[in-house]
Amino acid sequence: MTHIALALLLLMQPPTPWWKHAVVYEIYPRSFQDSNGDGIGDLKGITSRLDYLHDLGIDAIWLTPCYPSPQVDFGYDISNYESIDPKYGTLADFDELVREARKRGIRILMDMVMNHTSDQHPWFIESRSSKTNPKRDWYVWRDGKGPGEPPNNWLSEFGHSAWQYDSTTGQYYYHKFYRQQPDLNWRNPAVERAMFNVVRFWLDRGVAGFRLDAITTLFEDPELRDEKVLPGKNAYGDQNEDDARTDNHPEVHDVLKSLRKVIDSFSGQRVLIGETYLHGPEDLNKMYGANNDELQLPMDMQVGLIDTLDAAAFRRRITESQTLIRGNIPLFVFNNHDIHRSLDRYHPYAAKIVATILLASRDAAQMYYGEEIGMKTTPPTRKEDVRDPIGITGWPKEKGRDGERTPMQWDSTANAGFTTDTPWLPVPPTADTVNVARETKEPGSLLSWYKKLIALRKTNTSLREGTNEMLDFDQSNVLAWLRKSEAGTVVVVCNMSPETKTITLRGALRPILRSDSAATGRSMPPYAVYIGAVQ
């Protein structure tokens, strides 16, 4: 083939979409960097840290909600979808963030909360004003079963009945989350139209796509049948219930198909990521759409929440994630703003293993700020210090999510370089040693490990494009896998046990990256990681 023919052929190949190998970095704007000294992080703060993120090597930032909000659920209760909360800045600050990020090859993804609005949103204020208001049917209103009795037994994710009585009209409204987060009625086409216009507003402003909040909860059983009661009580003291009537309703797929058409009508490979806590890989498979016309990246929460260093469980689950989704790309997640940090859920010595599973597998990788330096969960120790309302409702069994939302630890100065004022949540004592400034200088630090892995993911063809083949060393509690491409084979070996382990691998090995100079791939010190070329 002539050079010209080859060049033409390459030009004709559609470029691999950026999100297929992406590292998506979640930022909780309240906690990342304060620029105006009010103790709360903001958009200008994020912009000022873009060089750090560029050095880390991430491809995209997912910003948790920074729209105007009464902040009952710290932004997940939105009162205006087309602006920025003054606490975080202005639309001009947002545009600047998009622009500055783009200069560094970083895309911005917004968090889109479509299941519910704030009870202070003008739509809900109208809706609750009378039974005949044109917006009445934008939310889920029902009569109670009898005096003082809600329409059925459905429970809020955040404790107690999911129905709130409203005396203005004598009816109840449904809220899957806080009572200040009334659910929209997605069976009303006007709701879809309004929400899709919001989506267009942000796509026009240059966002690369969305993380769809609580997307599986858009619809409920239209007949309002009770959920099945399960044995035991939850952290809020309510009866345990199944979620078949209020989660994962098939109509969600119709909305996703229509939404996908909207984002595909914009140029530049926009992406839909879904918050998808599901019952198993079969459900996850459906979220891509039968014709791959729904979410590009539903979150695979099952690998990252195994919560124990069990090589057999990881091998099984990662194999499923590679085989049951028809060649699609799984999005692995070990950390986010709702779950305890992986450092506490696994062994602290295993932080490099977690990073390796996330970044050396065939997946798109989602990170959460601070994961790369080894931030710990630091929950409040007294009820009066709790900021997240579920921690107040559920205390002491459920302490809320403050522990995983503490300020980013930049350096060892006062307030870890996050703010000059009192931070909205206390800076954990670990900030003295666990911080960006110190770890940047140390070649053996967790931060350096993340950087090296992300760089390898970009430059090593097999780690980037290769297939993922799990090896079985369950007996030794060693998790190992091969990444194969035309460029060669790479083996990744993680010893999940506190003892040195020896495994049998075929072929000559050449180390590419290892967490311990004594790790050879075949002989592995406790919790060591080895990545090598197989020759």
Binding site for ligand GLC (CB under 6 A): 73, 76, 113, 177, 213-214, 275, 337-338
For ligand GLC, the closer of residues 64 and 378 by Cβ is: 64
> What residues form DSSP beta bridges with 172?
142, 165
Task: Tell me if residue 221 is catalytic.
Answer: no
Cβ at position 13, least distance to ligand GLC in Å = 37
Concatenated DSSP letters for 349-413?
A: GGHHHHHHHHHHSSSEEEEETTGGGTPPP---SSGGG--SHHHHHHTTT---SGGGSPPP---SS
For residue 129, give both structure tokens: 């004003």
Helix (H), strand (E) counts: the chain: 16, 20
Cβ at position 335, least distance to ligand GLC in Å = 12
For residue 285, give both structure tokens: 């498979």
Pick the catalytic residue: 73, 183, 275, 320?
275
- Please say whether the dihedral angle defined by the alpha carbons of residues 458, 459, 460 and 461, taken in this order, is positive or negative: positive
Q: Can you say how many angstroms the Cα of residue 92 is from the centroid of all Cα atoms in its chain?
A: 26
For ligand GLC, the closer of residues 21 and 179 by Cβ is: 179
Pick the catalytic residue: 119, 192, 213, 294?
213
Question: For helices 251-264 and 189-204, what crossing angle results, to 10°?
Answer: 30
Q: Do the beta carbons of residue 451 and residue 359 sit within 8 Å?
A: no
For ligand GLC, the closer of residues 169 and 248 by Cβ is: 248
For ligand GLC, the closer of residues 25 and 177 by Cβ is: 177
Q: SS3 of 461, please?
A: helix
State the DSSP code for 348: G
Cβ at position 337, least distance to ligand GLC in Å = 6
Cβ at position 172, least distance to ligand GLC in Å = 19
Alpha carbon distance 58, 365 (integer Å): 10
Of residues 492, 483, 482, the one with CA closest to residue 465: 483
SS3 helix, strand, coil % of the chain, rounded to 5?
35, 20, 50
Concatenated DSSP letters for 191-232?
A: HHHHHHHHHHHHHHTT--EEEETTGGGS---TT-PPPPEEEE
For ligand GLC, the closer of residues 175 and 352 by Cβ is: 175
Start-to-end C-alpha separation, the chain: 29
For residue 119, give both structure tokens: 């009870």
Cβ at position 217, least distance to ligand GLC in Å = 8
Q: SS3 of 90, please?
A: coil
Alpha carbon distance 27, 259 (integer Å): 24
Cβ at position 249, least distance to ligand GLC in Å = 17
> What residues form DSSP beta bridges with 482?
469, 491
Which residues 6+ apart lie within 8 Å of 435 measured at CB?
373, 409, 410, 411, 412, 416, 417
Cβ at position 211, least distance to ligand GLC in Å = 9
For ligand GLC, the closer of residues 113 and 427 by Cβ is: 113
Cβ at position 115, least distance to ligand GLC in Å = 7
For ligand GLC, the closer of residues 275 and 371 by Cβ is: 275
Q: Which residue is nearest to ligand GLC (CB)?
A: 76
Cβ at position 277, least distance to ligand GLC in Å = 8
Residue linked to tokens 């208001």: 133
Strands 488-495 and 529-534: antiparallel
Beta strands in 287-363 (DSSP E): 297-300, 331-333
For ligand GLC, the closer of residues 109 and 214 by Cβ is: 214
For ligand GLC, the closer of residues 70 and 488 by Cβ is: 70
Task: Tell me if residue 294 is catalytic.
Answer: no
Residues designated as active site: 213, 275
